[in-house]
């Protein structure tokens, strides 16, 4: 317990029902007397350390990922200090429960496991009244919102209101990884309906059972949402999450200069993929502009990765035409070409000049066999797409190919690290989107890097808020990628592309500093000194420890 008492006005059950104030069995005898807690709690008094140890043992005793997720989330809804202390002390083990892959299963079952309200569900029926929904004094401290409309949850598709599990889970990482005060954050789901018939017919489904809003009605609803939150919180950071491809990039383009915001699926994924690739290429003592890059999946993530790598090539001095010639992007029609109809703006930038055959492009196998890519990135959501023959071909033409099956959750991964390393005889440098166990090949045990957005977004958000950035620029995103790349153990004769996740707190601070100072260089924030920046970080920070309480 700290020596500075905190004044608290709540008493009795109201205090126990407030997750950010509740201490459970850690309330002292004096506090139990002062706040009317005797009898409401069992007699034993435990320290936070003892509570964490007990909670950890309970998690380990649960039989499967979903039950572990449910238990950990119940901690968050009852005692947030204990929840975050557990996350921070066992981050590598807990992250897969609150984030991918555990959150994927939790979203599939969200309506069945939902127990207690957290965040805001803003439904289409609330149009015209969104400002009223966010007006409560409960939200006065909010500085960061993650918003989703639930249409593209990981690789699982349209989960409607069940997608709320994603904003809840990712916001917890802003605290666990970057120390942001959880009182400053709000998860929001825009419940604009769902086209998932199974959900609409499920009696337990918690969301709207109407078809999804489309077209002008959808645009007007989102526009009202943006207008309301910018009026309520002028200095807010908005994190867009898991919007489908037809909306993700257009929404980002429309609003990114109106408020401080970024889309983690597009920009965060691109930044961490770029960081890992820059580290791998540098470790091979090569340049990015020497690589041939094949990206399978032309959605928002694939196009975002391509854009970021393209910018990195330009920064090396490569011409635009030479840089574009290094990319081969595939989607459902095969290799994307200029003559294909209905390409998105992102796909058009990387479509090849060759002709398709009646709208069908070359296969992945043909591209790998003939173009000899040195980097293969999968964001397709198609399990098993990277076959043995593809991996053999990659390793035949490149001594150390970078192979990144990034699709989430684990059930959708293009190939497992075990298969990739077996098929390439241990030559490949592998990084995945979800966590995998180490692989032993040729007597060598290889820890598998996770190209996890949590390397980027906590520090990106922390840095942008701390410096008071007006917007998040491409340069700030590149600064975050380069900051993580410079931390690569591979550059110091280690075995991994990325630093260990347990170093997340120091990684987030490094990223935050790089992002903020780049924003200052671009004049996207007020000028600041080193001391100003440190003070701003301190004001945003929170540590999961118990304070002594005294009544008002």
DSSP-derived pairing of the beta strands 402-405 and 444-446: unpaired
Closest CA to 477 of 439, 519, 442: 519
27 exposure class (CB count in 10 Å sphere: 0-12, 13-18, 19+): buried
Phi and psi torsions of 479, nearest 5°: -60, -40
Centre a 10 Å sphere on the Cβ of residue 526 and count the other Cβ atoms it contains. 12
Q: 3-class SS at 502?
A: helix
Active site includes 549?
A: no
- CA atoms of 150 and 188, how far apart (whole Å): 10
Token pair of 110, please?
Answer: 């969200």
Centre a 10 Å sphere on the Cβ of residue 136 and count the other Cβ atoms it contains. 9
Token pair of 69, please?
Answer: 């997720």
- DSSP class of residue 391 equals H
Phi and psi torsions of 70, nearest 5°: -60, -45
Give exposure, 244-266, as e/b (b: 16+ Cβ within 10 Å). Answer: bbebbbebbeebbeebbbbbbbb
Phi and psi torsions of 187, nearest 5°: -85, 135
Instruction: Name the active-site residue from 84, 99, 255, 455.
Output: 99
Closest CA to 73 of 47, 101, 106, 41: 106
Token pair of 145, please?
Answer: 């919102």
Q: Is the separation of the CB atoms in 314 and 278 below 8 Å?
A: no
Instruction: Name the active-site residue from 23, 84, 143, 170.
Output: 170
Token pair of 415, please?
Answer: 């190939």
Residue whose tokens read 């015209």? 128
Q: Is the dihedral of CA 346, 349, 352, 357 positive or negative?
A: positive
Token pair of 57, please?
Answer: 């043992």
530 exposure class (CB count in 10 Å sphere: 0-12, 13-18, 19+): exposed
Active site includes 99?
A: yes
Contacts of 190 (CB under 8 A, 6+ apart): 122, 147, 148, 149, 150, 221, 222, 225
- CA atoms of 500 and 550, how far apart (whole Å): 40
Phi and psi torsions of 550, nearest 5°: -135, 145
- CA atoms of 491 and 441, how far apart (whole Å): 22
Helices (H), 79-164: 80-89, 91-98, 102-108, 110-113, 130-133
- CA atoms of 430 and 405, how far apart (whole Å): 8
Catalytic residue annotation? 99, 170
């Amino acid at each position: 317990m700290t020596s500075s008492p905190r004044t608290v006005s709540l008493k009795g059950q109201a205090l126990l029902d407030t997750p950010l104030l509740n201490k459970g069995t850690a309330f002292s005898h004096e506090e139990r007397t002062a706040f009317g807690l005797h009898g409401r709690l069992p007699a034993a008094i435990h320290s936070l350390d003892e509570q964490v140890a007990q909670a950890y043992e309970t998690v380990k005793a649960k039989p499967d990922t979903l039950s572990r997720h449910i238990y950990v989330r119940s901690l968050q809804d009852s005692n947030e200090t204990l929840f975050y202390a557990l996350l921070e002390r066992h981050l590598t083990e807990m992250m897969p429960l609150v984030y991918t892959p555990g959150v994927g299963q939790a979203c599939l079952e969200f309506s069945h496991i939902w127990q207690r309200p957290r965040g805001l569900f803003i439904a289409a029926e609330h149009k015209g009244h969104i400002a009223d929904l966010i007006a409560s004094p409960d939200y006065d401290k909010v500085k960061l919102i993650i918003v989703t409309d639930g249409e593209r949850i990981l690789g699982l598709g349209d989960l409607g209101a069940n997608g709320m599990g994603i904003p809840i889970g990712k916001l917890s990482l802003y605290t666990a990884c970057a120390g942001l005060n959880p009182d400053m954050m709000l998860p929001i789901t825009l419940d604009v309906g769902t086209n998932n018939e199974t959900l609409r017919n499920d009696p337990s489904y918690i969301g709207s059972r109407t078809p999804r809003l489309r077209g002008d009605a959808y645009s007007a609803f989102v526009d009202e949402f943006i207008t309301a939150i910018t009026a309520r919180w002028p200095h807010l950071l908005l994190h867009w999450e898991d919007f489908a491809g037809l909306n993700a990039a257009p929404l980002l383009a429309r609003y990114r200069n109106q408020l401080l915001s970024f889309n983690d699926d597009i920009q965060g994924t691109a930044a961490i993929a770029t960081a890992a690739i820059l580290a791998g290429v540098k470790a091979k003592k090569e340049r990015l502009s020497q690589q041939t890059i094949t990206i399978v999946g032309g959605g928002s993530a694939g196009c975002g990765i391509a854009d970021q790598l393209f910018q990195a090539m330009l920064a090396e001095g490569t011409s635009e035409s030479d840089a574009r010639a290094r990319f081969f992007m595939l989607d459902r029609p095969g290799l994307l070409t200029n003559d294909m109809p209905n390409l998105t703006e992102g796909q058009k930038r990387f479509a090849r000049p060759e002709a398709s055959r009646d709208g069908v492009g070359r296969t992945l196998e043909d591209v790998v066999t003939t173009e000899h890519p040195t980097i293969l990135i999968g964001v397709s959501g198609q399990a098993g797409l990277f076959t043995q023959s593809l991996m053999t071909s990659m390793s035949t033409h490149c001594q150390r190919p970078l192979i990144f099956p990034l699709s989430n959750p684990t059930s959708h991964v293009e190939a497992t690290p075990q298969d990739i390393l077996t098929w390439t005889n241990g030559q490949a440098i592998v990084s995945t989107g979800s966590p995998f166990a180490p692989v032993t090949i040729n007597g060598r045990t290889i820890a598998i890097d996770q190209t996890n957005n949590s390397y980027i977004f906590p520090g990106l958000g922390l840095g942008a808020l701390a410096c008071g950035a007006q917007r998040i620029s491409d340069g700030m995103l590149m600064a975050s990628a380069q900051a993580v790349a410079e931390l690569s153990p591979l550059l110091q004769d280690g075995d991994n592309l990325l630093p260990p996740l347990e170093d997340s707190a120091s990684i987030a601070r490094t990223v935050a500093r790089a992002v903020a100072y780049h924003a200052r260089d671009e004049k996207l924030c007020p000028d600041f000194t080193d001391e100003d920046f440190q003070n701003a970080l301190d004001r945003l920070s929170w540590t999961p420890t118990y304070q002594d309480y005294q009544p008002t």
